Each structure stands twice: as C-alpha cells, then as structure tokens.
Amino acid sequence: MSDTLIVEATGVHKHYGHNHVLKGVDLHVRAGEVVCLIGPSGSGKTTLLRTLNHLESIDAGMILVSGGHVGYRRVGDRLHELAPREVSRNRAGIGMVFQHFNLFPHMTVLENIVEAPIGVRHVSRKEATAHALSLLERVGLSDKAAFYPAQLSGGQKQRVAIARALAMRPEVMLFDEPTSALDPELVGEVLAVMRDLAESGMTMVVVTHEIGFARQVADRVVFMADGVIVEQGPSEVVLDAPSHARTRDFLKAVLA
C-alpha cells in the first residue's frame, strides 16, 4: 500500500424518501488497499459502494476518487450533477462487479469485454481485443471468448464480469457481494481470481458475507450497521477481537 488516497468519502448522507440509509459516512481507501465492507442486510454497505461510482447520487457530503469528483462538477462552492454521458466518462477509472453479473446476453464473452474500452475510452478494436484475450486467460476462461453468457456457469459469468471491469484499466475495483448469487461449489473460483487481484496490488472495496475471504485478503474490514460505520480496522482485529457488541453479535450469527 501507498499513502496515496484513491477513495475519499467524507460525511456522506443518502436518503430514500424518509429512509436515511447513509448517515454521515467517512471512508478513505489508499492505493493498493483491500477493504471489505461487512454488516447485516440494510446496513448501507451496497448503497455506500454504489455512491463511490455515482450509481447512486448523494444528498450531502463529498466523494473523491483519485482526487476528482465522480458524477459532479464543482462550480464555485456548489456541486452540479453531470449528464449521464459525462458520468460514464467520469467513472471510467472505477471498475464495478455486480452481484448478478450484468453481462449483455446478446453479446459474446469477448464482445462484452471490449464494448466499454472501445465505446468509452476509444481504444482501437485490435488493442481492446488483445487486452480482453489476455484478461480471459488471467481469469481462466481463454477458451470461452466466443461463448454467450447463457452458455456459462454462474462462476464463469462472474469471472467474465471481473475481466470486463479490468478491461477499463481501473484504478479501483468495487465488488458488490460478487459470490452471493453463486452456487456454493462455484464460489471458490471467483474468490481465487479476487485473491489474485489483491496480490497484484489492485485497490479493492468489497461488500461481502465471505468472512473467510475478508480474513485472508482484506487489509481493513469495515463493519456497518444502521447507516454508519460501527467499527473498522485490520481484519484480524475486527474479525477475531471486535470491540463493539454489535460487531460481535453479527459475526456470531454469520459464523454460526
């Protein structure tokens, strides 16, 4: 890890109607750091993750990624939300892997991966294809380039989704419960790819219920409940010797 901050979320608030989902959350992530967000359903983990690349707007606070606003432009003392096309370019350096893959069903695996580099970063098709094929080899799917998503297992789809996010050469990767939709026997193949990414120095923010993965890979574990960060610290501290009763109760329930 370096001392360079990649993600700076300060005083972030988010409401859905009368439901106050994020209540002044602060989260700072350094370059090369792996941060796992854990907590009960409804705690705000996924909402926080989605605000980092402006899939969700915020009601108050500030989010910077690599020193720049995501989804907003500062004019004087005010932030103005960007148009959707500008937001797409703005978030190009942030990779996102979803719970349910979100692959384009009418495109082959290769087409899914090259779509964004060509359309958003204006990379040549030749360069995008070469990079996509190298990424497929990295995630163990070099023989699936011409397949369609419907021909793949859930674990294979998620590995394609990871390759697709990596194709944009992101500075940070966001994972939203990437194994929760998988059959148990397929979870390991996805976590193996994520471990490889972590070992390569990729900055990662991961919403997960995989406590074993968090213990092995995370530099820092953040426990959220009721829209706030209750506790955070090195994985061995938060997971093995949590200081808050709320964290202890959650881990006891999950590990049981």
174-197 residue pLDDT tens: 999 999 989 989 999 999 999 999
User: How far apart, in whole angstroms, are the C-alpha atoms of residue 115 and residue 98?
Assistant: 17
Query: Stretch 212-218: mean pLDDT, rounded?
Result: 94
Q: How many CB atoms lie within 10 A of CB 207?
A: 25
Structure tokens at 184: 């148990």
Q: What is the DSSP letter of 152?
A: S
Please report which confidence band the pLDDT of residue 53 belongs to, taking 50, 70 and 90 as the band edges.
Answer: very high
Mean of the per-residue pLDDT values of the chain: 94
- CB proximity list for 4: less than 8 A, separation 6 or greater: 30, 31
Angle between helices 154-166 and 109-119 (to 10 degrees): 20
What backbone phi and psi angles, to 5 degrees, belong to 128? -65, -40
Task: Give the pLDDT confidence of 62-75 residue by residue, as tens digits.
Answer: 999 999 888 888 88
In contact, 176 and 96? CB cutoff 8 Å: yes
Residue 27 confidence (pLDDT): 98
Q: Which residue has the tokens 């300060």?
A: 10
